[in-house]
């Protein structure tokens, strides 16, 4: 089968690999029908989220059809159409039972202290082969995948795999409640859906902070108040718009390296890359230090802004991705404002049934966020375009074709802020 394989920093390619097989009674094999590219994939490829084992299949977003189930998967059957959550939980440990699927004690083979297990991640997260493939082995399939209602479009469904749950979780982490004023840093797709989630969870006002006009316009269209940090000091503006108080809640939907210099690794296409590489544009305004960045040396700009923007006794929710090696945070400033900080990897499975209902009932339409319809054959080009933060590229869905893998068609879905 075909899959997107990472062979080293900056090196990805579409390769022919062996099809996965059932390895445990709780496994299922899913034929992927749509996958997507996520900003997290870019972190992994660049090495800003380090530790990828060469040969790992990338990707942690998919919908597909169950092909085969192990003997202890009793709630799914071949032919079921499912969404696969990005994080993996066993469903039986005390953490999973309490809804903390991303802190499962069992799913990560590196042990209970190893952290979140997810598809297509670094060695420390499993490693588990990812979902940018024609077929995927889904561990603990009695718990993870959720059946999709008939009639839900692929473009709606693919955003339930990671993006919408993460966005919803972001607003939960930030403790958004009735009437709150919420600042969302990062208006990529997670930021956009975090704004929508905040509004669904009762927010009175939402401020959107980014520097890409197309993203800010999307934010405005859904009722948020855009702030372009290239054109104005975002903290000054936030304070002015809130009578000097600041916002009740902040959501960090940016994470590491959106404002960091990095070495600009090249993406290599199998059969010869064109060399333009997965290189991120670094805005000089947000890159005061310059030079090469070592993880952990200083807080990211967005974390500093978050602590500045939040009102006294407010809450910051962090879903932007940071590597375990990142250790700097403006704790003094936060402590002296009585700020609550909550952070984490989404417990996807916890929210999926509710979010499927919200989408199926028409209260939220996710499909318009899928702006690129690519084929699996063009996924590497989609990676490059996404990496360049090309205007108008919100999310790239990759439709994976049926059958031999020689006639793969697709869309790629990409986001630079998670």
* 217-236 binders of Zn ion (CB under 5 A): none
Among the listed ranges 103-111, 121-129, 172-180, 242-250, the one in contact with Zn ion (CB under 5 A) is 103-111
Q: Are 84 and 63 in contact (CB under 8 A)?
A: yes
Quote the least distance from Cβ 150 to Zn ion, whole Å. 30
Rounded Cα gap, residues 413 and 283, in angstroms: 24
Among 90, 117, 310, 319, binds Zn ion (CB under 5 A): 90
Does 144 participate in binding Zn ion (rule CB under 5 A)? Answer: no
Quote the least distance from Cβ 111 to Zn ion, whole Å. 13
Quote the least distance from Cβ 103 to Zn ion, whole Å. 8
Does 114 participate in binding Zn ion (rule CB under 5 A)? Answer: no
Give the residue with the Cβ less far from Zn ion, 84 or 187.
84
Number of residues that bind Zn ion (CB under 5 A): 6
Give the residue with the Cβ less far from Zn ion, 89 or 186.
89
Joined tokens for residue 171: 């607003």
Q: Are 112 and 11 in contact (CB under 8 A)?
A: no
Does 199 participate in binding Zn ion (rule CB under 5 A)? Answer: no
CA angle at 267 for the pair 265 and 272, rounded to the nearest 5°: 130
Give the residue with the Cβ less far from Zn ion, 60 or 350.
350
276: number of Cβ within 10 Å: 11
Quote the least distance from Cβ 350 to Zn ion, whole Å. 12
**DSSP string across 251-287:** EE---TTTT-----PPP--TT---S--S-----GGG-
Rounded Cα gap, residues 156 and 356, in angstroms: 9
Does 212 participate in binding Zn ion (rule CB under 5 A)? Answer: no
Does 194 participate in binding Zn ion (rule CB under 5 A)? Answer: no
Q: Are 256 and 43 in contact (CB under 8 A)?
A: yes
Among 4, 36, 82, 104, binds Zn ion (CB under 5 A): 104
Rounded Cα gap, residues 230 and 414, in angstroms: 23
Query: What long-range pairs does 265-268 form, CB within 8 A, spacing at least 24?
Result: 265/9, 265/10, 265/11, 265/45, 265/46, 265/47, 266/10, 266/11, 267/10, 267/11, 267/12, 267/45, 267/380, 267/383, 267/384, 267/387, 268/7, 268/10, 268/11, 268/12, 268/13
Does 93 participate in binding Zn ion (rule CB under 5 A)? Answer: yes
Strand 310-318 to strand 2-8: parallel, antiparallel, or no bridges (unpaired)? unpaired
Rounded Cα gap, residues 201 and 321, in angstroms: 23
Does 258 participate in binding Zn ion (rule CB under 5 A)? Answer: no
Rounded Cα gap, residues 197 and 118, in angstroms: 23
Give the residue with the Cβ less far from Zn ion, 104 or 163.
104
Among 89, 130, 186, 410, binds Zn ion (CB under 5 A): 89
Quote the least distance from Cβ 179 to Zn ion, whole Å. 36
Give the residue with the Cβ less far from Zn ion, 9 or 96.
96
CA angle at 349 for the pair 345 and 350, rounded to the nearest 5°: 85
Quote the least distance from Cβ 64 to Zn ion, whole Å. 23
Give the residue with the Cβ less far from Zn ion, 104 or 218.
104
- Backbone CA torsion sign across 187, 387, 1, 398: positive
Residue of closest CB approach to Zn ion? 104
Rounded Cα gap, residues 20 and 130, in angstroms: 11
Among the listed ranges 30-38, 66-74, 85-93, 305-313, the one in contact with Zn ion (CB under 5 A) is 85-93
Quote the least distance from Cβ 57 to Zn ion, whole Å. 23
Give the residue with the Cβ less far from Zn ion, 89 or 405.
89
Among the listed ranges 66-74, 92-100, 346-354, 400-408, the one in contact with Zn ion (CB under 5 A) is 92-100
Among the listed ranges 4-12, 56-64, 86-94, 124-132, the one in contact with Zn ion (CB under 5 A) is 86-94
What do you get for the CA distance between the two ends of the chain, in Å? 28
Give the residue with the Cβ less far from Zn ion, 90 or 302.
90
Among 5, 29, 57, 96, binds Zn ion (CB under 5 A): 96
Quote the least distance from Cβ 346 to Zn ion, whole Å. 15
- Site map 150..189 versus Zn ion, x via CB under 5 A: ----------------------------------------
Does 117 participate in binding Zn ion (rule CB under 5 A)? Answer: no
Binding stretches for Zn ion (CB under 5 A)? 89-90, 93, 96, 104, 106
């Amino acid at each position: 089968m075909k899959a997107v394989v990472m062979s080293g920093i900056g090196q990805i390619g579409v390769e022919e690999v062996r099809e996965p097989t059932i390895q445990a009674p709780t496994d299922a094999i899913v034929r992927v029908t749509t996958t997507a590219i996520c900003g997290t994939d870019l972190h992994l490829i660049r090495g800003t989220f380090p530790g990828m084992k060469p040969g790992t299949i990338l990707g942690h977003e998919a919908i597909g059809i169950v092909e085969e189930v192990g003997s202890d998967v009793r709630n799914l059957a071949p032919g079921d159409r499912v969404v696969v959550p990005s994080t993996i939980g066993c469903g039986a440990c005390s953490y999973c039972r309490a809804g903390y699927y991303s802190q499962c004690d069992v799913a990560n083979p590196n042990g209970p202290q190893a952290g979140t297990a997810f598809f297509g991640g670094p060695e420390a997260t499993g490693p588990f082969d990812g979902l940018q493939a024609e077929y995927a082995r889904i561990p603990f399939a009695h718990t993870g995948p959720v059946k999709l209602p008939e009639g839900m479009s692929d473009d709606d469904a693919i955003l339930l795999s990671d993006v919408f749950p993460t966005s919803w979780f972001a607003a939960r982490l930030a403790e958004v409640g009735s009437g709150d004023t919420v600042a969302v840093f990062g208006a990529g797709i997670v930021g956009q859906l975090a704004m929508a989630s905040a509004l669904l969870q009762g927010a009175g006002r939402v401020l959107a902070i980014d520097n890409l006009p197309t993203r800010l316009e999307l934010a405005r269209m859904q009722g948020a108040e855009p702030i372009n940090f290239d054109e104005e000091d975002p903290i000054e503006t936030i304070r002015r718009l809130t009578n000097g108080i600041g916002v009740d809640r902040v959501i960090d939907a940016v994470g590491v390296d959106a404002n960091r210099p990095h070495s600009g690794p090249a993406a290599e296409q199998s059969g010869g890359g064109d060399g333009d590489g997965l290189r991120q544009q670094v805005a000089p305004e947000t890159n005061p230090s310059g030079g090469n960045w070592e993880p952990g040396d200083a807080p990211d700009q967005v974390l500093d802004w978050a602590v500045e923007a939040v009102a006294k006794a407010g809450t910051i929710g962090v879903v932007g991705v940071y590597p375990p090696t990142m250790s700097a945070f403006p704790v003094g400033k936060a402590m002296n404002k009585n700020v609550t900080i909550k952070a984490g990897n989404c417990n996807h499975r916890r929210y999926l049934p509710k979010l499927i209902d919200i989408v199926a009932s028409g209260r939220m339409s996710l499909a318009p966020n899928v702006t690129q319809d690519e084929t699996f054959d063009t996924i590497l080009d989609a990676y490059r375009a996404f990496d360049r933060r090309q205007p108008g590229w919100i999310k790239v869905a990759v439709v994976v074709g049926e059958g031999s893998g020689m006639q793969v068609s697709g869309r790629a879905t990409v986001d630079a802020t998670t």
